[in-house]
Structures are given as C-alpha cells and as structure tokens.
Amino acid sequence: MITASSQKLGLSKGRFRRAALSFARNCAFLLILCVFFSISSRYFLTFSNIENILTSSSVLALLALGSVFVIASGGIDLSVAAVMALSGVVTAAVYRDNPELSSWLALLICASVGTLCGVVSGILLALTRAPSFIISLGMLSVTRALAYIVANGAPIYDLPQNVTEWGQGTVLGVPGPVAIMLLALIGSYLILHHTRLGTHILVLGDNSFAAEAMGIRIHNLRTKIFAISGALSGVAGFVFMTRTNAGDPTAGQNYELMAITAVILGGANLFGGKATIIGTVMGVLCLGVLQNGLNLLAVSSYYQVLFVGVVLISAAMLERFEDMA
C-alpha cells in the first residue's frame, strides 16, 4: 500500500539516486581528464600545477557560484562578468586616490558594488515582471558602460601591494584566490543546501506556482537571489583585480557564458529546481583542467576551442543517458 510517508520516501530515494549519479558523473569526468593529462604531460600532476589550476579557476568559480543561485531559481544572470568588471574598476579608482586604505576595505567595496547591482536587478525584475534574461542583459550593458565611464576607458593599474597580496600571495600557505574561493564555496553550500532560503530558491525554480502557494514572497526572494549573485560577482572582481593588479573595464568578456556553462556542466537544470554547489565547482574544475592541460600540451588555440566544445557536448550526452537510466 502506498502511503504518504512511503511516497515521500520513494521521492527522496529517487532524488538521492539522481544526485548521487550526477555527483559520480562529475567525478568521473574530472578524473578522466586528470588521468588523460597526467599521462600526456609529466608536468600536469605536480603540486605547483594543481595549485595553478585552482588559482586560475578561482574567478570563474566565484562567478559560477553566484550563477548557481540564479539558475536554481529558474532565472539567468548575464550581467555577472560586467558587474565583476565594475566592482574592480570602482575599487581600483578608490585606491588610486587613496592608496593608504586598508586592503579589507577593497574586498568590502567590491562586494558592496556587486551586491548593489544585484539588488537593482532584483528590484527591476519585481517592477517590470520581465524575464530575467532581458533584465540581466540590460544590466550587462549598463554595468559595463559604467565600468568604462568610471575608468575613463582605460585600465587602472598599479594598486597598493597590500591589496594585490590577496591575489598574488598566500593565506596559511594557500593561494589567496583559492582561499577566497573555498570560503565562498562553503558559504554557498550552506546557504543553498542547509537554509530555508536555499530550499525556497530550489522550490521557486522547480515550480513557481507552488512556491507562491506556499506563501513565499517571490519578488523579495528574487531580489535576495540576485543580491547573492551580485555579491559573489563583486568578490570575483576583487580576485580578478588583485591577481592582475588592475581595475579593468574590459575584464571578463564572455565569462558569463563560461560561468553558466560550468553550472550546467555541474548538473544544474537550466530551467531551475536542480543545482548543486559541489557539481558547479566540479564543472569549473573540468574547464580549468582542460584549459591547463591543453596549454601544457601546447595545443593550438583553434583545437583548444574545439576540445572544450566536444567536452561540453559529451557532458550533456552523459547527463541525458543518466536521466534515461
């Protein structure tokens, strides 16, 4: 006899099975890439190269972590890279004129600018009821233009050393960008998987009518989601700025697409309701390992782009087989 509780157990078992399969797929993919490059290049599996992969992937990982929340809720945020650029430029401009300021303030400014942009996106969504694709596309143009205006079109170079230490130094032996990425990963994981906010986000993505029926205030929730995305984009801007020692209005062109790619590669459903933080980071690492490995093998840029495309299509096919299983 099927009772409500056994039904519930059946649903949980099914979801757990799908999540486990998705995790296993991500691991397998990453493992295959690592094994392939370890065999092809003796420089791949070294401590310094692994550290290099993690550091190089940190900016994209932060953007992807922000994108997870938006995609999980059934939306999309195309402005993440432009917000990242604006955050970096505003902060660099502040430090150009005030180099004596504490470096913690740089992180705060970046995150604040990003959060503000996210809140504006959320409010615009609530006011216009337009698709997030349209609003975020508009915000992409606005924030990118603001970045050019603040920077007067040119990168702002030569930040104080106490600021660039974050991107070029280490924290307890861990590269600064990796430490920031890990903290963001832990925070994002806890929010999405262990808070009511996270549950509401997934419910919204799964079924917005059900979310509304449950009493969830959709517009408030969307504003919070975009604020989180904006905040993480701002932190990504901080890492980008401190790594490259410049606030650059052209930073991150097309990174938004890579961030979305990493989220989908990690097993998220583009239409919402399904996303994992660990999967997303695995997606980012797959892209990072691929890029690093191809550079180590000195593969031509034309073929690098081809390989990335093939990997993405393969990942999509694997997910399809997994859904059919």
Partner 1 sequence: MKKILLFAAALILSAFCLSAASADSGEFVFILKGRGNVFWQVVRNGIDETASERGVSAVILHTDDDQTPEAQLNICLTSIARKPKVIVLGAATRNVGIECFKKAAAAGITVADIDGNVTIDEARAAGVSMAFTVTSDNYGIGKLAAERLAQIASSPSPRVLVIKGLPGSIVSEKRARGFVDRLRELMPGALVVGEPDAYWDRMKAMNTTLDVIQREAQLDYIFSVSDAMTTGIVEALKITRKADRIKIISVDGLADARKAVISDRIESDVAQLPYLMGKRAVELAIDSAANKMLGQIEYVPTPVLTKESLLANQSPYFKYLR
| Minimum gap (Å) between residue 184 Cβ and partner 1 | 18
Q: Of the two residues 51 and 206, which places its CB atom closer to partner 1 in the complex?
A: 51
Q: Of the two residues 112 and 250, which places its CB atom closer to partner 1 in the complex?
A: 250
Residue from 80, 58, 82 nearest 70 by CA: 80
- Positive or negative torsion for Cα 311, 307, 305, 52: positive
| Minimum gap (Å) between residue 43 Cβ and partner 1 | 4
Is residue 5 packed enough to be buried (19+ CB in 10 Å), middle (13-18) or exposed (0-12)?
A: exposed
Residue of 3, 97, 172, 301 interacting with partner 1 (CB under 8 A): 301
**Residue 87's CB: how many other CB atoms inside 10 A?**
34
Q: Of the two residues 74 and 155, which places its CB atom closer to partner 1 in the complex?
A: 155
| Minimum gap (Å) between residue 294 Cβ and partner 1 | 9
Q: Of the two residues 27 and 305, which places its CB atom closer to partner 1 in the complex?
A: 305
Binding mask of the shown chain, residues 24 to 43, with x at each position contacting partner 1 by CB under 8 A:
-----------------x-x
Structure tokens at 132: 């997030």
Residue 52 engages partner 1 in binding (rule: CB under 8 A): yes
DSSP for residue 195: S
- State which of positions 183-242 bind partner 1 (CB under 8 A): 240
Residue from 296, 294, 315 nearest 305 by CA: 294
Task: Report how many residues bind partner 1 under the rule CB under 8 A.
Answer: 35
Structure tokens at 252: 């991150």
Is residue 115 packed enough to be buried (19+ CB in 10 Å), middle (13-18) or exposed (0-12)?
A: buried
Segments in the chain forming alpha helices (H)? 4-40, 47-72, 80-97, 103-128, 132-151, 161-168, 176-194, 196-206, 208-213, 218-244, 255-265, 277-296, 301-324
| Secondary structure (DSSP) of 6-65 | HHHHHHHHHHHHHHHHHHHHHHHHHHHHHHHHHHH-TTTTSHHHHHHHHHHHHHHHHHHH
How far apart are the C-alpha atoms of 271 and 74, rounded to whole Å? 5
- State which of positions 63-122 bind partner 1 (CB under 8 A): none
How far apart are the C-alpha atoms of 234 and 81, rounded to whole Å? 9
| Minimum gap (Å) between residue 324 Cβ and partner 1 | 37
| Minimum gap (Å) between residue 159 Cβ and partner 1 | 11
| Minimum gap (Å) between residue 312 Cβ and partner 1 | 19
Q: Of the two residues 20 and 257, which places its CB atom closer to partner 1 in the complex?
A: 257
Residue of 6, 158, 219, 257 interacting with partner 1 (CB under 8 A): 158
How far apart are the C-alpha atoms of 299 and 196, rounded to whole Å? 46
DSSP for residue 140: H
- State which of positions 239-298 bind partner 1 (CB under 8 A): 240, 243-246, 248-253, 291-292, 295-296, 298
| Minimum gap (Å) between residue 316 Cβ and partner 1 | 25
Q: Of the two residues 49 and 269, which places its CB atom closer to partner 1 in the complex?
A: 49
Binding mask of the shown chain, residues 117 to 156, with x at each position contacting partner 1 by CB under 8 A:
-------------------------------x----xxx-
- Chain contacts with partner 1 (rule: CB under 8 A): 41, 43, 46, 48-49, 52, 55-56, 59, 148, 153-155, 157-158, 168, 240, 243-246, 248-253, 291-292, 295-296, 298, 300-302
